[in-house]
Structure 1
Amino acid sequence: MNVETESAGDLPHENYRCGAVALVGRPNVGKSTLLNALIGFRLSIVSPRPQTTRHRILGIATSEAGQVMYVDTPGLHRGAKRAMNRSLNRAARTAMAEVDLAVQLIEAGRWTDEDEALYAALVEQNVPRLLAINKVDLAKDKGALLPFVAELTARHQFEDIHYVSALKQKGLKELESAILKRLPVRPPVFGEDEITDRSERFLAAEMVREQLMLRLDQELPYATTVEIEQFTDREDGVAEIHAIVWVERDGQKAIVIGQGGAQLKAIGSAARRHMERLFERKVFLKLWVKVREGWVDDEAMLKKLGYTD
């Protein structure tokens, strides 16, 4: 997203700030939870599994002080051999190149090779960066964080360091303040009531995929994706949505459907409830499960599904 080409008029006041901020980190470190907490809305899907986020998600937080466009990015995947993983890496790196600031999120007390690779990518892009140490509420010995941070900052340069719990929403006010003061003086890009630039069609697919991530065992969720075939607002005010759950093998299809269709029904019911809260209207959701062998390595299929730019 290039915010420099967009404008929403005059500055609301002389020190109004507006800019794009990438939330970056290795998979499953809490980026989506942090995004949702910062914008005060459950926008980005969350599950305990790594690689939940597959797309760049823009979440908009507007206040009297300014407008922050947070970009939740897929985690960088080392040794990405499959086409989809390479696509996720491209999405993450592109986001780094298009923002005014990056917040690197790490887990309290842990700095892995993946964290190091991500830091190197930020340095390469010459992006101003803050460090947010997440899950501090889970650290048994908080005093042990001090030498960890001292060693980390001796070898890495960050403009500021923040201790947060995205899940418990601790330390976020200070992080927000640090972000805003580093953004340029610029008019808002979006209206004050807007929370994302993503369509309801895209969000519907994500909410179905979230339920797949939450309800299916082990590696199966990574072999699934969701395509919205139809999204129609009927005359009675109901949003009618038809979606395909794509899997790679017939055995996976049987698992997603479940005995007597029970699993697919549970996935659809939970996704529909989330959609109705988000879209603020009734939803009629119909799901099908189809097999497309090797879709995660099919560049044409990935493009169709929105995984490539």
Structure 2
Amino acid sequence: MSTAGTEGEFRSGFVSFVGRPNAGKSTLTNAMVGQKVAITSSKPQTTRTVVRGIVHRPDAQLILVDTPGLHRPRTLLGERLNDLVTTTWAEVDVVAVCFPADEKIGPGDRFIVNELAKVRRTTKVAIATKTDLATPEQLGAHLLSIAELGRETSTDWAEIVPVSSVSGDQVGLLADLLVALVPEGPPLYPDGELTDTPEEAIVADLVREAALEGVRDELPHSIAVVVEEMKLRPDRPADRPLLDVHANLFVERDSQKGIIIGHKGSRLKEIGTGARAQIEAMLGTPVHLDLRVKVAKDWQRDPRQLRRMGF
């Protein structure tokens, strides 16, 4: 059904940001939506669910699909994450590949673009992220490398755009270019909605992000968070609500449990404080957060445990 006149010019569509881990995809999603919907961390491989951020404009609606970074899988979890990425690519209108400007294009980038070449119909855009970390000369060379990678892999870039999510430089321009590439059509989500990810999943991500802050590098892949229960406390007056959140942090070994809990529980307390502030900011409600740390031996390689954790 097409609508006549000016209404027909409204555009809406799905855009997937892809790239190797830590390429700046989640930060860019948050910058475009204008609020924190995807978890960000300097640790690679922090995003595990497909978070959709929704950009509302008078003329368009962009639904940003943030996929896990694609990588060569070493575990069953890695394989499942990669399957999730390639399925997403086939279903969106535009795939935007992120290449951080402070790093040279490497085998990981080439691997992704080669995989992407197999998805024929989707429009492809290249984004040079983190331009605030590169000199003008570095950025110029980086943009030429991206164009060259496109030629080598027979990938036709619809646009090559440099952006900095941190300074906000060119984020608006990128949104304009993406809007032009999605089809005409009505809004797909109600005005004001910023993500369609269930609140429990966002809360689990925020707890996981807080748990990763300042932890040694061997831990990122080993932490999973499951929100067991999340509900408003029944005996509170309407003007003073309190949300009770009970979540389990799963690690693979006892030694990791010790790292997360810290000396006399100090580390776990920090995690709780950090996560609670983020959850309250996100949901706009005071939160009581109850965290338990549990060991689930080698959960990343165990199909039954992966299912239980939502993968």
TM-score, normalised by the number of residues in structure 2: 0.91
Contact 1:76–1:118 (8 Å) recurs in 2 = yes
Work out whether residues 228 and 242 of structure 1, in 8 Å CA contact, stay in contact via their aligned partners in 2.
Answer: yes
1:214-234 Cα deviation digits (max 9, x unpaired): 131121232111111111112
**CA displacement at 1:157 relative to structure 2:** 2.0
Distance 1:254 1:130, change over 3 A: same
Q: Is the Cα contact below 8 Å between 1:215 and 1:267 reproduced in 2?
A: no
Deviations 1:221-256 (A, max 9, x none): 321111111111123221101011111111111111
Please identify, of 153-162 and 188-197, the stretch whose mean Cα deviation from structure 2 is larger: 153-162
Please name the residue that 2:181 is paired with.
182
**1:285/1:152 CA distance change after superposition, 3 Å:** same
Q: Which amino acid aligns with 1:202?
A: A
Segments of 5+ residues of structure 2 without an aligned counterpart are none
Percent of aligned pairs with the same amino acid:
35
**Closer/same/farther in 2, CA of residues 295 and 226 from structure 1, 3 Å limit:** same
Q: 1:13-28 alignment to 2 at 5 Å?
A: 13-28=7-22
* Matching residue of 1:53: 47
> Shift in Å at residue 202 of structure 1?
1.0
1:289 is matched with 293
Code of the residue aligned with 2:45 in structure 1: it is Q
User: Which runs of 5 or more structure 1 residues have no equivalent in the other structure?
Assistant: 1-6
Distance in 2 (alpha carbons) for counterparts of 1:76 and 1:209 = 20
Is the 2:45–2:220 Cα contact (8 Å) retained in structure 1? no
Q: Is the 8 A contact 2:233 2:244 kept in 1?
A: yes
Residue in 2 aligned with 1:69?
63
Q: 1:297 to 1:150 in 2, by over 3 A?
A: closer
Instruction: Tell me how large the CA RMSD over aligned residues is.
Output: 1.8
Q: Helix, strand or coil for the counterpart of 1:160?
A: strand
| Closer/same/farther in 2, CA of residues 74 and 11 from structure 1, 3 Å limit | farther
Structure 1 residues 162, 286: CA separation in 2 closer, same or farther (over 3 Å shift)? same
> Structure 1 CA distance, aligned partners of 2:175 and 2:301?
39
Separation in 2, partners of 1:185, 1:274:
36
Supply the distance in 2 between the matched residues of 1:81 and 1:148 (Cα, whole angstroms).
28
Displacement of 1:150: 5.0
Report SS of the residue matched to 2:177. Answer: helix
The CA distance in 2 between the partners of 1:82 and 1:28, in whole Å, is 19
Quickly say closer, same or farther: Cα 1:144–1:265, change in 2 above 3 A.
same
- Whether 1:148 aligns to 2:141 is no
1:40 aligns with: 34
Q: Does 1:111 align with 2:105?
A: yes
How do residues 227-238 of structure 1 correspond to structure 2 at under 5 angstroms?
227-235=226-234, 236=236, 237-238=241-242
Tell me the equivalent position of 2:95: 102
CA contact (8 A) 1:12 1:187 kept: no
The equivalent residue for 1:160 is: 159
